[in-house]
Amino acid sequence: MHELGVVFYVIRDVKAVAEEHDVERVDRVTLQIGEVSGVVHELLRDAWKWAVRKEPLMADAELEIETIPAITFCEDCKHDYPTVEYGKTCPHCGSEHTFLVQGNEFLIKDMRVE
């Protein structure tokens, strides 16, 4: 389960920012996660609940997840389309000369503090 490792990295980064700004408590962290990032939201939430209990700075901090939709661009017809629905093949022209333009991200958007 790589979600636990991801949570450890998020906690590390949030702690670093909190220490830099003399924050004593983090109440919520908002993540933006791409639709095809490979991160399972429920496993991430479970790992989060377990891990933040061990961090006094973040004990009981909420996790908010915003999903970034996966969008693919077709190099032949120059159209964007929803990746999950159509995969690698462009629904407009049938080309496979496509690439993912968004949807694989994993970003810490913000954190709410006391």
What confidence tens digit (pLDDT) does each residue in 18-43 have? 999 999 999 999 999 999 999 999 99
Over residues 47-92, the pLDDT tens digits come to: 999 999 999 999 999 999 999 999 999 999 999 999 999 999 999 9
Distance CA 15, CA 26 (A): 9
Counting beta carbons within 10 angstroms of the beta carbon of residue 49, is it exposed (0 to 12), middle (13 to 18) or buried (19 or more)? middle
Answer whether 65's CB lies under 8 Å from 31's CB: yes
The confidence band for 1, taking pLDDT boundaries of 50, 70 and 90, is low
Task: Report the CATH number at residue 43.
Answer: 3.30.2320.80
What's the number of domains the chain is made of? 1
Answer whether 68's CB lies under 8 Å from 1's CB: no
Phi, psi (rounded to 5 degrees) for 53 = -65, -25
pLDDT at residue 2, rounded to an integer: 87
Q: Which domain holds residue 43?
A: 2-8+27-113
Residue 95 lies in a domain: yes
Residue 100 lies in a domain: yes
